[in-house]
A and B are shown apart, each in its own frame.
Chain A
Amino acid sequence: MPCFGYFLFLCGMNQVLSSYPIWWSLAIGHQYSSLGTQPILCGSIPGLVPKQLRFCRNYVEIMPSVAEGVKIGIQECQHQFRGRRWNCTTVNDSLAIFGPVLDKATRESAFVHAIASAGVAFAVTRSCAEGSATICGCDTRHKGPPGEGWKWGGCSEDVEFGSMVSREFADARENRPDARSAMNRHNNEAGRTSIIDHMHLKCKCHGLSGSCEVKTCWWSQPDFRVIGDYLKDKYDSASEIVVEKHRESRGWVETLRPKYNFFKAPTERDLVYYENSPNFCEPNPETGSFGTRDRICNVTSHGIDGCDLLCCGRGHNTRTEKRKEKCHCIFHWCCYVSCQECIRVYDVHTCK
Chain B
Amino acid sequence: MAGAIIENMSTKKLCIVGAILLIFQIIAFLVGGLIAPSPTTALPYVAIKCIDVQRTHQKVKWFMPWGPNQCEKIRDFDEALSRQIEANAIVFAVHIPLPTKEMSPWFQFMLYILHLDVAFKMNNHIKENAEITLDVSLAYRDDMYSEWKEMAHAIETRKLKCAFPYPKTIENEGRYYNCDVLPFMEIGTVAHKYYLVNIRIPVIEKKGINVGIGEIKDIRLVGIHQNGGFTKVWFAMKTFLTPSIFIIMVWYWRRITMMTRAPVLLEKVIFALGISMTFINIPVEWFSIGFDWTWMLLFADIRQGVFYAMLLSFWIIFCGEHIMDQNNRNRLSGYWKQVGPIAVGSFCLFVFDMCERGVQLKNPFYSIWTTDVGTELAMAFIIVAGICLCLYFLFLCFMVFQVFRNISGKQSSLPAMSKARRLHYEGLIFRFKFLMLISLACAAMTVIFFIVSQVTEGHWKWGDFTVEVNSAFFTGTYGMWNLYVFTLMFLYAPSHKNYGEDQSNGDLGVSGGEELQLTTTITHVDGPTEVYKLSRKNAQE
Contacts and interface: CB of A to CB of B under 8 A. Distances in A.
Contacts of B115: 202, 220
A7 interface: no
B111 A206 contact: yes
Nearest to A151: B228
B121 A129 contact: no
A216 B224 contact: yes
B73 A129 contact: no
A130 B349 CA distance: 38
Interface residues of A, number: 52
B123 A329 contact: yes
Nearest to B458: A217
A335 B40 contact: no
Contact of B37 (A136, A153, A334, A336): A153
Most chain B CB within a 10 A radius of its CB, from A34, A129, A136, A144: A129
Nearest to B90: A334
Main secondary structure on B side of the interface with A: mixed
Given A34-B75, A204-B224, A333 B65 contact: no
| Size bin of chain B's contact surface | 35 or more
B43 A155 contact: yes
A128 B97 CA distance: 11
Interface in B148-164: none
A23 to B, nearest CB: 21
B421 interface: no
Contacts of B97: 150
A143 interface: yes
B541 to A, nearest CB: 49
Contacts of A150: 97, 101
A213 B181 CA distance: 19
A337 interface: yes
B488 to A, nearest CB: 23
Interface string B73-100: 1110100110011110010000101111
Nearest to B74: A35
B244 interface: no
Contact of A130 (B38, B41, B46, B80): B46
Given A129-B45, A131-B66, A152-B228, A331 B81 contact: no
Interface string A143-174: 11000101111110010000000000000000
Interface string A31-64: 0011100000000000000000000000000000
B37 A151 contact: no
B222 A204 contact: yes
Given A151-B104, A334-B80, A129 B215 contact: no
Interface string B325-362: 00000000000000000000000010011001000000
A126 interface: yes
A214 B474 CA distance: 9
A277 interface: no
Interface in B175-212: 175-176, 181, 201, 203, 205, 210-211
Contacts of A4: none
Contacts of B124: 329, 331
A213 B454 CA distance: 9
A335 B80 contact: yes
Contacts of A213: 450
A334 B219 CA distance: 13
A319 interface: no
Interface string A289-314: 00000000000000000000000000
A129 B222 CA distance: 10
A128 B349 CA distance: 39
Contacts of A249: none
B364 interface: no
B46 A126 contact: yes
A218 B90 contact: no
A215 interface: yes
4 A-B pairs with the lowest CB-CB distances in the bound complex, closest first: A154-B41, A153-B37, A218-B42, A152-B229
17 contacts: A132-B48, A134-B100, A138-B101, A151-B106, A151-B229, A206-B111, A208-B304, A213-B450, A217-B458, A220-B220, A331-B121, A331-B215, A332-B203, A333-B213, A333-B216, A335-B84, A335-B87
Given A132-B48, A134-B99, A152-B37, 7 more contacts: A130-B47, A148-B228, A150-B101, A155-B98, A214-B40, A218-B222, A335-B85
